[in-house]
């Protein structure tokens, strides 16, 4: 296996090996987290939790299947759990006494790569739409699988996806018109 020595070193808790592992996957996994996150900060939280979980569960990897796919699945799980937690417990309250300040970049910036713009649009989707859209369009899960993952019915998954795509298109059109 390509990563076997590195995996064994990480399991032993060798910090240098873990850092190399992090450097190898951080870009891809952070891009994945950003697609599920509300913001960059949120994505970094997902990334941190994902790596901690990977290092913790690395000994469970049996060598069967693609290692990167295994890591990716852990990150998807982590991202979904963050979404679920946000939906249930995380309450970020807009204080009426304060005016919102836009710290983020403009909604759509043609100078940025298309992927980054896609991610920004994805982050504008409601969390439920975002989860279904990511799982179906970008992760390739079927509706029954999504239904099992999210605890909804396959029919709901389909309808959510349709609405998510419509919402996504609307946001995309709006951003294109704005530019």
Partner 1 sequence: MEENLHQQDNLDDFVQKSLDGYEEDPSPGMWNRIEGALDTPAVQVPKSPGLTTRWSGNIRHWWSVAAAVLFVMLGWAGICTYYERKIIALEITISQSNSSQKALSPEIAAKVTQKVTELMAEQQHRGDYQNTVPPANAPENAVIIPKKTQKSIPKTGGQEYIAKPATPVNDRTNHQILDAKAAQKTINAPLSVDAATAGHHTAEVTTQTINNQAPNRQTDRATVPALQQNALQSNHHTPDNDPLTTPDNNTSTVVATHESGAEVTTPVANLLQSQPAETASKKIALEQLPGSSSLLQVPYPAPSAVPTLLPVIRPNHSGSDWYAGLRFTPGFIKENTTEKPTRPIERPVNGPRPARSTPVFVNESKKINAAAEWGLIFGKKINRYILLETGIAFTNLRQESVHQARFKFLEGRPHNSPGSGASRFDFDCNLNTYGGSAAVSLRMEQVDNSARIPATEPITVKITTNQYTQALKVPLLVGITFGKGRWKGVLKAGPEGYFTLSNQLEVNLLSSLNTKFQVESGKVPQLVFETTRRFSLGYRAAAGVHYRLSRHWSAVAEPVISGTFAQTDHLKQELPGIISTGVNLGINYHF
Q: Which residues bind partner 1 (CB under 8 A)?
A: 15, 18-19, 22-23, 26-28, 30-31, 34-35, 41, 43-45, 47-48, 51-52, 55-56, 73, 76-77, 80-81, 84-85, 89-95, 97-101, 103, 110, 113-119, 137-138, 148-151, 165, 168-169, 172, 176
Q: How far is the CB of 85 from partner 1 (least distance, A)?
A: 8
CA distance 146 to 83: 14
**Cα three-residue angle 146-69-56, rounded to 5 degrees:** 100
What is the DSSP-derived secondary structure letter of residue 137?
Answer: I
What is the smallest separation between the CB atom of 116 and partner 1, expressed in angstroms? 7
Residue 2 or 89: the one with the smaller Cβ distance to partner 1 is 89
Closer residue to partner 1 (CB): 2 or 94: 94
Of 34 and 67, which has the nearer Cβ to partner 1? 34
d(CA 96, CA 86): 21
Q: How many residues does the chain have?
A: 179
Q: Name 157's Cβ contacts closer than 8 Å, sequence gap at least 6.
A: 132, 136, 143, 146, 147, 150
Q: Which of residues 3 and 146 has its CB atom nearest to partner 1 in the complex?
A: 146
Apex 43 CA angle, 174 and 127, nearest 5: 55
DSSP 150: H
Q: Least CB distance from residue 79 to partner 1, whole Å? A: 11
Minimum CB–partner distance for residue 91 and partner 1 (Å): 6
Nearest approach in angstroms of CB 95 to partner 1 is 6
């Amino acid at each position: 296996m390509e990563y076997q020595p590195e995996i064994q070193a990480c399991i032993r808790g060798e910090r240098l090996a873990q850092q190399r592992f992090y450097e190898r996957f951080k870009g891809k996994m952070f891009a994945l987290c950003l697609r599920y996150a509300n913001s960059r900060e949120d994505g970094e939280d997902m990334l941190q939790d994902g790596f901690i979980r990977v290092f913790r569960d690395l000994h469970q990897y049996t060598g069967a299947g693609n290692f990167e796919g295994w890591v990716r699945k852990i990150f998807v799980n982590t991202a979904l759990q963050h979404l679920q937690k946000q939906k249930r417990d995380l309450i970020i309250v807009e204080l009426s006494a304060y005016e919102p300040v836009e710290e983020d970049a403009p909604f759509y910036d043609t100078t940025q790569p298309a992927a980054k713009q896609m991610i920004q649009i994805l982050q504008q989707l409601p969390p439920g739409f975002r989860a279904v859209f990511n799982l179906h369009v970008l992760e390739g899960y079927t509706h029954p699988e999504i239904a099992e993952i999210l605890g909804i019915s396959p029919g709901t998954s389909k309808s959510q996806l349709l609405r998510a795509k419509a919402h996504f298109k609307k946001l995309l059109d709006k951003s294109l018109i704005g530019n």
